[in-house]
């Protein structure tokens, strides 16, 4: 029997080989140079977004509830200091209780500050810790990376906004039920995107965390606090009112406040269009810098 198998070995091999070929999967490799992901890498984009959301949600006490508590303390301090005796603020020709006036501004201020904090951390931490390759090596385009970072920053902003809003709903003497829900969502989105784009630019420019902290302390905080959160622009001197109108966050807060009160100290349509154009310009700038690898590719 052994001699028969050896003698017939080539024949058996010839008979077995086609059977083995039939078991192999029919895989057609793409032509060299042809992209496998033709349009948009949805899987990669979703993975980056989920990774960024899980990063800040893993420490939600620090990234969501702590900012909400800080914002609520602002409300408590200012309502106790100025809300007694029925203090009102004149907005758009109407009198609004001070607590109702300041509450929407505090909500959107907490949202935009946390949008900036989230987007300014990711790329900067990658550069500092040597993990920037995690953003550069995967098959993600510059637009997909920017979209993932922006989506996570806006998500964190709305989480913080919802947490602050829920806390204010339980606070006595404050009415924060939306009057125009579209304005709340639109100006909340525009403000979050505005500061998120600024955060991406900061993370690209900064070389250490001190640089990002400097932008926060000397640019973001002054723009946020001097944007009409605690006062109406109608009460300002003409020269200071002109300076306030040059602050883009002023339009974010005024439009967001309109969504709760139904009154505003500026034209809502003009402010909304201006914010949209500004976000488009900042988004294009961020995309071009990411595309060229400015300060992130050695």
> Is residue 182, in this structure, part of any structural domain at all?
yes
Give the model's pLDDT for residue 22.
55
Domain hosting 134: range is 42-292
Give the model's pLDDT for residue 29.
66
Q: What digits encode the pLDDT tens for the residues 16-29?
A: 455 555 555 666 76
Domain count for the chain = 1
Q: What digits encode the pLDDT tens for the residues 214-231?
A: 999 999 999 988 888 888
Percentages of the chain per state (helix, strand, coil), in multiples of 5 = 70, 5, 25
DSSP SS3 for 89: strand
Closest CA to 202 of 191, 222, 188, 216: 216
To the nearest 10 degrees (0 to 180), the angle between helices 268-292 and 248-261 is 130
The two three-digit tokens of residue 230, written as one number: 């605690």
> Is residue 96, in this structure, part of any structural domain at all?
yes
How many residues are there in the chain?
A: 298
Q: What's the sign of the alpha-carbon dihedral 67, 73, 76, 82? A: negative
Instruction: Say whether pLDDT at 282 is over 60.
Output: yes
Instruction: Say whether pLDDT at 64 is over 70.
Output: yes
> Is residue 14, in this structure, part of any structural domain at all?
no
> Is residue 297, in this structure, part of any structural domain at all?
no
> Is residue 29, in this structure, part of any structural domain at all?
no
> Is residue 76, in this structure, part of any structural domain at all?
yes
The pTM for the full model equals 0.84
> Is residue 237, in this structure, part of any structural domain at all?
yes
Residue 205 per-residue DSSP state: H
> Is residue 212, in this structure, part of any structural domain at all?
yes
């Amino acid at each position: 029997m052994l001699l028969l198998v050896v003698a017939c070995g080539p024949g058996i091999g010839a008979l077995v080989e086609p059977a083995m070929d039939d078991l192999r999967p029919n895989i057609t490799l793409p032509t060299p140079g042809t992209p496998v992901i033709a349009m948009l890498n949805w899987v990669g984009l979703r993975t980056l977004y989920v990774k960024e959301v899980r990063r800040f949600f893993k420490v939600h006490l620090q990234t969501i509830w702590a900012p909400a508590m800080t914002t609520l303390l602002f409300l408590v301090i200012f309502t106790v200091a100025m809300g007694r005796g029925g203090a009102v603020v004149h907005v758009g020709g109407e009198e609004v209780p001070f607590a109702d006036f300041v509450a929407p501004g505090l909500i959107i201020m907490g949202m935009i500050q946390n949008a900036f904090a989230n987007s300014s951390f990711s790329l900067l931490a990658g550069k500092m810790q040597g993990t920037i390759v995690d953003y550069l090596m995967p098959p993600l385009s510059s637009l997909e990376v920017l979209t993932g970072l922006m989506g996570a920053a806006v998500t964190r902003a709305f989480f913080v906004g919802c947490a602050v809003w829920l806390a204010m709903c339980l606070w006595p003497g404050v009415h924060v039920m939306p009057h125009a829900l579209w304005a709340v969502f639109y100006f909340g989105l525009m403000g979050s995107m505005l500061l998120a784009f600024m955060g991406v630019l900061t993370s690209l420019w900064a070389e250490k965390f001190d640089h990002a902290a400097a932008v926060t302390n000397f640019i973001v905080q002054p723009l946020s606090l001097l944007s009409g959160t605690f006062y109406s622009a109608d009460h300002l001197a003409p020269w200071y009112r002109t300076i306030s109108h040059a602050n883009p966050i002023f339009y974010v807060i005024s439009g967001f406040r309109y969504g709760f009160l139904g009154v505003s100290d500026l034209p809502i349509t003009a402010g909304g269009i201006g914010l949209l154009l500004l976000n488009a310009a900042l988004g294009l700038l961020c995309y071009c810098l990411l595309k060229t690898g400015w300060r992130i590719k050695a």
